[in-house]
Amino acid sequence: MPHPAWKDDLVRIVGPRGYLDHPEDLRLYEYDGGVDKARPESVVFPRSSEEVSAIARTATRHGVPVVGRGAGTGLSGGAIPSQGGIMVGFSRMNRILEIDLANERAVVEPGVVNLDLSMAVDAAGYFYAPDPSSQRACTIGGNVAENAGGPHTLAYGVTTNHVFALEAVLPDGTIVQTGAWWPDTPGYDLTGLLTGSEGTMALVTKAVVRLMRKPETVKTMLAIYDTEDDCATTVSEITARAITPAALEMLDGTMLKMVEAAVHAGYPLDAAGVLLIELEGLKEAVEEQAEQVRLACLQCRAREVREAKSEAERQLLWKGRKNAFGAIGRVSPFFYVHDGVVPRTKIAPTLRLIGGVSSNSGLTIGNIFHAGDGHMHPIILFDARRAGDIDKAQKAGFDILEYCIQAGGSITGEHGIGMEKVHLMSRQYAAESLDMMRRIKELFDPARLFNPGKLLPGGRGCAEIRQPPLVPGTPVY
Ligand SMILES: Cc1cc2nc3c(=O)[nH]c(=O)nc-3n(C[C@H](O)[C@H](O)[C@H](O)COP(=O)(O)OP(=O)(O)OC[C@H]3O[C@@H](n4cnc5c(N)ncnc54)[C@H](O)[C@@H]3O)c2cc1C
């Protein structure tokens, strides 16, 4: 197979050990955590911002697409090179450059693994708050690109609330700095614009992020229910009592059985649903809130409310939640993790809708999600080897997301649009809003080489864009 025309330039930039184009190597980079697949023509592993800049210049000169890749845990096909080209892997740019505890900031390269940052400051009593369930593997660069959330973002906010400044490389190779170490910088919020832009405008090469002090006390509770409705209703009952738990997660009966069989976290096998609730803060306040939470759960007919009695018990409860996806893999060879948002007051009807979609499609759907934020994660089990199953799974996902939009929510809470949901953007946004986004992208990337085919639907005037949003006039920002 002939080598790509840009190979010599790239090898000069990153060295022969930082460059891959053998088909057997490239195969490893055609997946992420989602369902789509496409192979890059070259993969490069830069070690510095200057090397990333030189790669961008080379790509632009050759008119070839560029796709960034962190750990490849994305669930919407963001890191899939759907139009081939050059993949920039950030695994060698994985240094924590500075930890400034007095100012509660860290400066990191994009390939730093999320959990490694918290571990680096743990002994000093600090942590990095955004904690995707994939935090043992996913990178800060990927988190910034996806504006990732996680169980604890209910109280602390998502990635954008913890990123103060970025260094990023534009398609023409320019290295730009946005923001500063203090919040609310003058001028346009370019840090906010790039956070969540899914690698379509710039490649992030450094980030200044917030470190937070670990709370004095953490209490983790498990509320167990005989009906999904009661479990779901408790979510708004807790927040109505003016309590914002650090985390408020729900697992339905289907998920409980799968997770318990694999993880042995002590979850009940006969329940219709559980809430995993975590409270953090000063000891007295947490005790008071825990009592209020217990009363809210009992008022909504919880049959039992347990409290983790030790750090080991607490870790075990979280182990079940954080290892759930692995547990599903033991039961089903293929599964489709969906991601939609509804107001937390509409979780119960959404679960009923999902139950109906499951019966109609004949596919098992489990639910494990960030209930406090209304971030639904229906997990659709299917078997790609069975004719028609993929189509059924995709249709089931589409029906659920349509319902989310109608319920006043969104087609994604945290996994991003990627290539998976690009066709749904016109269901969420009016044509004018999409056009504005496209014009902003083109300011950064006039040749449309950075992560093409992601986030924004096709060209100007395509059918997708002319489609009206599902709920005309829905305020979407
Ligand atoms: C088991 C599991 C649990 C998960 N739980 C959560 C969760 O709780 N919350 C949540 O939000 N997500 C979750 N995810 C999804 C995923 O982990 C996040 O989207 C994460 O932010 C992706 O990080 P990554 O390093 O793997 O990025 P990748 O998958 O490699 O890339 C994701 C996107 O970021 C872009 N990108 C990567 N690096 C850069 C860079 N330096 N500059 C510019 N663009 C870049 C890529 O091009 C792509 O568009 C989960 C995934 C799995 C598999």
CA of 76 to the centre of ligand 1 (A): 9
Whether 160 is in the pocket of ligand 1, judged by its Cβ within 6 Å, is no
How confident is the model over 31-38, as a mean pLDDT? Answer: 90
CA of 139 to the centre of ligand 1 (A): 7
Res 473: pLDDT? 32
The CATH number of whichever domain residue 401 belongs to comes to 3.30.70
455 and 389 within one domain: no
The CATH number of whichever domain residue 233 belongs to comes to 3.30.70.2190
209 and 150 within one domain: yes
What's the pLDDT tens digit per position in 245-296?
999 999 999 999 999 999 999 999 999 999 999 999 999 999 999 999 999 9
Res 265: pLDDT? 94
The CATH number of whichever domain residue 150 belongs to comes to 3.30.465.10
CA of 454 to the centre of ligand 1 (A): 14
Res 411: pLDDT? 96
Atom 15, ligand 1: residue with shortest CA distance: 74
131 and 34 within one domain: no
- 475 located within any domain: no
Residue 370 alpha carbon, nearest atom of ligand 1: 8
Whether 90 is in the pocket of ligand 1, judged by its Cβ within 6 Å, is yes
CA of 74 to the centre of ligand 1 (A): 4
196 and 292 within one domain: no
Res 466: pLDDT? 34
- 1 located within any domain: no
241 and 191 within one domain: no
Percent of the chain with pLDDT over 90: 89
DSSP letter assigned to residue 468: P
Whether 150 is in the pocket of ligand 1, judged by its Cβ within 6 Å, is yes
295 and 222 within one domain: yes
The CATH number of whichever domain residue 23 belongs to comes to 3.30.43.10
254 and 184 within one domain: no
356 and 307 within one domain: no
Q: Is residue 469 pLDDT above 70, yes or no?
A: no
- 476 located within any domain: no
Whether 339 is in the pocket of ligand 1, judged by its Cβ within 6 Å, is no
CA of 236 to the centre of ligand 1 (A): 29
Q: The pTM is what?
A: 0.92
Alpha helices for 223-252 (secondary structure H) = 228-240
57 and 109 within one domain: no
What's the pLDDT tens digit per position in 106-141?
999 999 999 999 999 999 999 999 999 999 999 999
124 and 154 within one domain: yes
How confident is the model over 43-64, as a mean pLDDT? Answer: 98
Residue 204 alpha carbon, nearest atom of ligand 1: 42
CA of 359 to the centre of ligand 1 (A): 31
- 435 located within any domain: yes
* Domain tally, the chain: 5
- 431 located within any domain: yes
Res 170: pLDDT? 98
Half-sphere exposure of 473 (CA within 13 A, CB side): 0
Percent of the chain with pLDDT over 70: 96
Contact 290, 279 (CB under 8 A): yes
How confident is the model over 341-347, as a mean pLDDT? Answer: 96
Q: Which of 87, 102, 132, 99 is nearest to 114 (CA)?
A: 132
Domain boundary among 175, 197, 213: 213
Res 458: pLDDT? 77
CA of 223 to the centre of ligand 1 (A): 30
Res 322: pLDDT? 87
CA of 194 to the centre of ligand 1 (A): 15
Q: Is residue 81 pLDDT above 60, yes or no?
A: yes
- 472 located within any domain: no
Whether 85 is in the pocket of ligand 1, judged by its Cβ within 6 Å, is no
146 and 197 within one domain: yes
Domain boundary among 182, 213, 244: 213
Listed in sequence order, the residues at least 6 apart from 451 whose beta carbon sits closer than 8 Å to its beta carbon are 65, 66, 67, 68, 78, 198, 199, 200
- 416 located within any domain: no
Atom 18, ligand 1: residue with shortest CA distance: 74
| Interatomic CA distance for residues 462 and 465, integer angstroms | 6
Whether 236 is in the pocket of ligand 1, judged by its Cβ within 6 Å, is no
Domain boundary among 181, 213, 245: 213
Q: Which of 420, 456, 334, 444 is nearest to 78 (CA)?
A: 420
What's the pLDDT tens digit per position in 125-183?
999 999 999 999 999 999 999 999 999 989 999 999 999 999 999 999 999 999 999 88
126 and 141 within one domain: yes
Name the residue range of residue 24's domain: 7-89
- 415 located within any domain: no
Whether 77 is in the pocket of ligand 1, judged by its Cβ within 6 Å, is no
